[in-house]
Amino acid sequence: MTVTYDYTGRSVLVTGGTRGIGAGIAAAFRAVGAEVTVCARTAPEHPGHRSARDPDGDGPIRFVRADVRDPDQIERLIGGLDRLDVVVNNAGGSPPAPVDGTSPRLHSRVIELNLTAPLLVAQRAYPLLAASGGAVVMIGSASGARPSPGTSAYGAAKAGLHHLARCLAAEWAPLVRVNTVVVGLAATPDAADHYGGRSDLDGRAIPAGRMATPDDVARACLWLAAPGYVTGAEVRVDGGGEVPAWRHLV
């Protein structure tokens, strides 16, 4: 059975929506009729976006330059919207950052980006979302559900994000629904560097035999953002999780 969606007339904001998973999410919402705004610290390199300074341009997706760690830039980003039905808090990530030897400032910035920023974006978007009966989708990570050595601050922030979503779901019901997509190993432009170029990881570590794609994540977002009853949920897009270490010993 093919599931179809119609987001015509609905306004969607995707943070970090110019590349990787975020770009895939933005494209998926646009393909089903939504008016899509994306933000990032740097402008997209590929065509198909129109600048906030040129709202009547030909690009199907509106781009606003914004660092979501900055409350003033969040205000400018969301204050420029007349309507908002869906927020996808996708902006996030971390370089390798072992606790021993990494600067406190970097750890702080990682937590700001992956936990504090989604909180502030959701907070500022709430009045518009409540008016439209909208939804927030948090892009979480398997790193927030199991040990994340080498990126401990990131894992802790994502664990906090998962809990934040459950709290907001309870606090904002029934006006606004809040859910999380928990993403496992994913095939993105940064994956080769992050996983050391190991082409055998997907077959050995993931029961489904491959990494998640941006389209896999986008389909989960389309479902969670559609009007419905589900709120406070975590949908795992991880191909069945990660094979336990003991399986490699037998």
Which of the residues are catalytic?
A: 154
Is-contact 162 138, C-beta < 8 A?
yes
Tokens of 10: 């609905």
The kind and range of the H/E element at 203 are: helix 201-205
**Residue 212 has what DSSP assignment?**
B
Count CA atoms within 13 Å of residue 88 on its CB side.
36
Is 22 within 8 Å of 91 (Cβ atoms)? yes
Question: CA–CA separation, 86 vs 112, rounded Å?
Answer: 22
Start-to-end CA distance of the chain, whole Å, equals 38
CA distance 3 to 220: 11
Cα 235 to Cα 211: distance, rounded to the nearest angstrom: 16
Name beta bridge partners: 87. Answer: 13, 136
Number of Cα atoms under 13 Å in the Cβ half of residue 179? 22
Alpha helical stretches, state H, 80-151: 104-111, 117-132
Cβ distance 58 to 34 under 8 Å? no
d(C-alpha 41, C-alpha 169), whole Å: 28
